[in-house]
Amino acid sequence: MEKKNRRKFIEKGAATVAAAALGLPAMASKTAPSGDTASKHTAAGDSNRPPVVHHVFFWLKNPASTEDRDKLVAGLKTLAGIPLIKELYVGVLANTEKRDVVDASWQVSELMFFEDLSAQGNYQQHPLHLAFVKNCSPLWEKVVVYDAMNLFNRIG
């Protein structure tokens, strides 16, 4: 498999797994035409999802505790009060087929969309986000963040 095709395959697979984990519709993957930027959103006829994607995965200190999981989910839901966040999805691990490429070691994830990098940066200092970190960080052992610029999306 050519390197370029393998990279596209891996990117599409990662987007599909992330969407499935959060119960979202599968998103098509397509390279943006030369000169296009994520800030232009998508081609005519496609949904205009904001271009900055912020995806966070949480590993709980007590992974078997549904009480801790529910506290973290409740804390994440408070972030919906931040107007900088254009879309917010909170999810737990889906019971999908076990495969070598699937990381099933985390317990909770959140997926956010922002209009631009400035909004994402300002979100980091927002009082509701700071309160969430203060109140919920004792629940997690590990956090991994993936930030990306959306080049294409298709919903439905």
Residue 112 is part of a domain; what is its CATH number? Answer: 3.30.70.100
Distance CA 48, CA 10 (A): 24
- The answer to the question of residue 39 being in a domain is yes
- The answer to the question of residue 156 being in a domain is no
Distance CA 60, CA 79 (A): 19
Quote the number of domains for the chain: 1
- The answer to the question of residue 143 being in a domain is yes
Average of per-residue pLDDT values in the chain: 80
End-to-end CA distance of the chain: 30
- The answer to the question of residue 155 being in a domain is no
Radius of gyration of the chain (CA): 16
Pairing mode of beta strands 85-92, 52-60: unpaired
- The answer to the question of residue 154 being in a domain is no
* Structural domain boundaries enclosing 45: 3-149
How large is the average pLDDT for residues 71-93?
97
pLDDT of residue 20: 43
Residues facing 147 on adjacent strands: 54
Secondary structure (3-state) at 146: strand
DSSP code of 22?
A: T
* Tens digit of each residue's pLDDT (9 = 90 or more) over 84-137: 999 999 999 999 999 999 999 999 999 999 999 999 999 999 999 999 999 999
Q: What angle do CA 48, 12, 112 make, to 5 degrees?
A: 45
How large is the average pLDDT for residues 144-150?
96
